[in-house]
Amino acid sequence: MTADATTPDISLATWDLTTPVIVNRLATIKVGAKCLTGSSLCGRRIKILDESDRIVAAGMLGETTWPGTTALYWTELSFVAPAAVGQHSWAVSLQSSVISRFEFVTVASPEHTVRVAVLEKGTGSPMDDVIVRLGSHRVCTDGSGVAELQVSKGVYDIVLWKLGYTGVPKTVQVVGDVRIEIEIELTPEPEREYWMG
């Protein structure tokens, strides 16, 4: 969640925007507001503004609070992503008095599928729950150690991350569908110095 309210008693949050966002496609984001004094914000109008302060989505905060919270009233809004590829900084506004900014990246429509199979070095076992990053795209491997990403043509660095493991980044040129295998290995624990006293 991100929050950046401009008044001391209300904070705004945004979450669950799947990024990157594909240009000109419909995207959804959850937006919420919390009054620090505990007052209900149910039914308050909340909107999303683009870089030109044009309203691109609007709605009302719901009657119930976000699960696990006592005062975060929320709703889900949909908007059409910008036509331009790149970084965008938009705003959420609560009745024009409280504003919070959020950022996201838009990418061109995907043309190809990149399948990344992640294996444990030495054993060849498939590794699940490895975060695979391909440019601004990110996904986790499934139970069979495979991550599938939809991307446009281009050259991408593939970076892997899993707690306790290291993998060497690779570069891949995507001009069609690609399948690639990458190994990661258990990171050895650093040696500790012990002092005899």
Domain membership of residue 2 (yes or no) is no
Q: Is residue 25 a part of any domain in this protein?
A: yes
Binning pLDDT at 50, 70 and 90, where does residue 40 land?
very high
The model carries a pTM of 0.69
| pLDDT of 2 strictly over 70 | no
Residues 177-193 have a mean pLDDT of 84
Task: Give the number of domains in the chain.
Answer: 2
155-171 pLDDT per residue, tens: 999 999 999 999 888 99
The string over 5-32, giving b where at least 16 C-beta atoms fall within 10 Å of a residue's C-beta and e elsewhere, is beeeebbbbbeebeebbbbeeebebebb
Question: CB-based contacts of 129: which residues, under 8 Å, 6+ apart?
Answer: 140, 141, 162
Q: Is residue 174, in this structure, part of any structural domain at all?
A: yes
Residue 19 structural domain: 10-107
Domain endpoint, select from 107, 126, 153: 107
Mean pLDDT of 67-72: 91
Q: What is the CATH number of the domain that holds 179?
A: 2.60.40.1120
- 171 domain-assigned: yes
